[in-house]
Structure formats: C-alpha cells, structure tokens
Amino acid sequence: MSESFDAVDIIRTKRDRGELSSEEIAWVVDAYTREVVADEQMSALAMAILLNGMNRREIGDWTAAMIASGERMDFSSLSRPTADKHSTGGVGDKITLPLAPLVAACGVAVPQLSGRGLGHTGGTLDKLEAVPGWRASLSNAEILDQLEDVGAVICAAGSGLAPADKRLYSLRDVTGTVEAIPLIASSIMSKKIAEGTGVLVLDVKVGSGAFMKTEPDARELAETMVALGQDAGVHTVALLTDMSTPLGLTAGNGLEVRESVEVLAGGGPQDVVDLTLALAREMLQGAGVEDVDPADALRDGRAMDVWRRMIAAQGGDPDAALPTAAETHQVVADRDGVLTELDALAVGVAAWRLGAGRARKEDPVQAAAGVELHAKPGDRVRAGEPVMTLHTDTPERFERALAALEGGWSVGDTAPGRPDVVIDRIA
C-alpha cells in the first residue's frame, strides 16, 4: 500500500522548527504503530520534538492519534459518575491506595488504571501485589462489574489502550527523550482520555524525588495536560505537590500498603492524609458531589469498608499479614538536634537498591523491601536513635543503599520550615 507521507520529510520539518500538520501527525503515529516507520526514524522525530517543542494544536493532534491507535472504554452505563487521578510519580507516593476507596465511599466511581514502578519511583501495582492473592489484570467486563458493585478498581491498563504510546514510551526510555514535555503530556493524557473517565485530577510532583525537578517545568507540564483534558471534554484539574522529601514515612511496596491502611483507619502521617483529602475533594467537586466531606468517610470507616471489598474483589485477602523483610538495618543520628534535610531522591534510590524497585520493566521486586522513616524534617532526633530503618530480603544490598543515602539527610540545630504538600492548583 502506498503511504501518504514520508517519515524523513516529517523529521526534517520538526528538526527545522517547523509545524507538523494534523494529517502528518495522524499518519506518523499510525505508521509507527504499523511498523512502517522504523524505530530509528521515530527516535529522530522524538529528539526533534524534545529540542524544538510542539504547539498546543500539535500536542492535541499527537494525543488524538495515540488514542486512535487503540480502543476507548465507556463507563456511561454506570449508575454513578466517574473520576480518576494520575500522579507523575514520586517517593512514598501511595496516595492512590487510600484515595480510590475514599472517593468511592463518597459516591463517585474510581477506575484507577495504574502502572508499575521503574527506577526510584514506586508503582501502584507493585505495592498492591504485596497483598496475598491480589491480582492486577482484569478484563474490561470485570472492571465495569467491580465499579458498579464496589465503586473502585485499581488494576493494570489493558494492552488495547493507546498501544502506540506503549511502543513510543519504550523507545523514549532508551533514547534520552523521556523529558520531552509534549510527549510526556500526550503519553499520560492519551491513556487517561481513552480510559473514558468524566473527571481527571492530576497530581504533578515537583522536587528532587519527582520527574520534574523545578516548579516552572512542573507547571508547564500541568498546564499542558489540563489543556489536553479540557479540549477532549474531560473535566481536568492539576495540583502541583511537593516531592522534595518523601511522602509519608515509608518507601517500599508492603510498607506503603501498611501505611495506606493506617490512613484508611483514621490515622497515618499528616502529609499523606492532607494530600489524599485534597485530591478527593477535587475529584468529588469535578463529579458534582459537593455536599460530602471525605474526611468523614475516613473517620467513620466507610472508606475502609470499600478498601476491603475492593481488595477481596480482586482475589486479595484484606486480613492477611503483609510480608516482612528477612533483614533490617538501622540508620542512626550521630548527634542530638533537628532533622534539617531528608532528600526524596536519596531515599527513593535507597529503596530501589534494597529491592523495592526495578531498573528494567521485567525485573522482579521484593514485596517487603524499602525504607521506613522515623523522623521527617523539623523533628527532633537524639544521638544513637534511628532516623530510618532499611528493609530487604538480601542483606548484601545494604551497602549500596547506604551509599545512596550519604549526603541525603542531615541533623542541625534549627528546624527548617515545612512546605505545604499542595503548592498550587491549575485549572
């Protein structure tokens, strides 16, 4: 079959800071999915996009082409509105676990299609697989049934959603083009729009442990994604949130599940509670549910009830003991004082090296590995007392984890100011 365009011409256009037409974008994404455009050609185009950018129309067309490469889900048959949340990833970011059942307990269905971790950022599916028996893969029919019955589902996205993005994501990972904001935004939003939710709240992290290290970059990404969602008819809001220090007191799979259950039981670290409630209120407001305070559903046990039903519906045992690591190692303060710094990236890399994360998508993870924090910046510590505990089944990993933490935390005399977990709202 003859092709409408030539990949080399499209690469040259973007290389020379030109604007790609809607037809060129639709063709190149489709042709890449059909393997007519080769990996090396798409790599060159991705680099040209990284260096020269895209305007809003181009990014919208690229996103639409990604969506058109696969199927779209439809939740219109459900008896309640739908809302979803996407986080750009961070250290200790277990928010999806308490958030989905909390929002469901307030009357809005949550179809949370999630992924696995890569590098220092943990994946929601990896965390939940620490629960004995829980399964991540559901059919579309199972997703719909669970949403109607339970109100919340956290599962793997099917291969039919935006398959072009799956190919391009793998390519970007090995060609130094992951950071291209047009490609990040279209990657996230193509899957979320194809998912079919009516409301989308974006948690865009900024700080050392985040993908976006600076607030201007995070803001640009958030504004781009909000525009894509609104253009597609999805009520979209973004919160810029702090990821300079880890979220909560745990980084690791089973450790984060335990902490999430504490939040659902009405306890847990204040920053995790605050962010969970902030995102829940945005999701409920977007879905038109404004007379319900999600804090009440944490206090009275309704969110916990939905959590238990959600876990059980996917084969998990909500009463089963979570795995514990075979070995632990305490990192202690060398002086009395105040914890003045706790770098999110250092803690994330340490958890990754302990076995909580993976370097390649096919690598296994340890359910019990990770870092448990005993203090956060501003807390007083005493010489010889633990600041954190490292968990792993393979003690030979301790040395490299400790190396990752060197220079990543410090004790001083003056308490630092604690930034608010929510930096700004973009709508």
The catalytic residue among 165, 203, 271, 343 is: 165
Q: Any idea what DSSP says for residue 396?
A: G
For 32-84, the DSSP string reads HHTT-S-HHHHHHHHHHHHHH---HHHHHHHHHHHHHTS-----TTSSS-BEE
| Strand 380-381 versus strand 337-342 pairing type | antiparallel
Catalytic residue flag (residue 135): no
The catalytic residue among 187, 190, 244, 260 is: 187
The catalytic residue among 14, 85, 86, 329 is: 86
The catalytic residue among 172, 281, 302, 397 is: 172
Amino acid at 161: L
Catalytic residue flag (residue 190): no
The catalytic residue among 191, 281, 302, 391 is: 191
Q: Which of 69, 89, 104 is nearest to 194 (CA)?
A: 69
CA dihedral sign, ordered 267, 414, 344, 406: negative
d(CA 113, CA 103): 15
Query: Strand, coil or helix: what is 323?
Result: coil
228 burial (CB, 10 Å; 0-12 / 13-18 / 19+) is: buried
Amino acid at 233: G
Catalytic residue flag (residue 281): no
What are the structure tokens assigned to 49, written together?
């996009």
Kindly report the number of other CB atoms within 10 A of residue 97's CB atom: 28
Catalytic residue flag (residue 120): no
Q: CA-CA distances (angstroms) from residue 222 to 68, 290, 312, 352? A: 23, 24, 35, 27
**Contact between residue 265 and residue 255 where contact means Cβ atoms under 8 Å apart:** no
Q: Any idea what DSSP says for residue 334?
A: S
Catalytic residue flag (residue 374): no
Residues identified as active-site: 86, 165, 172, 187, 191
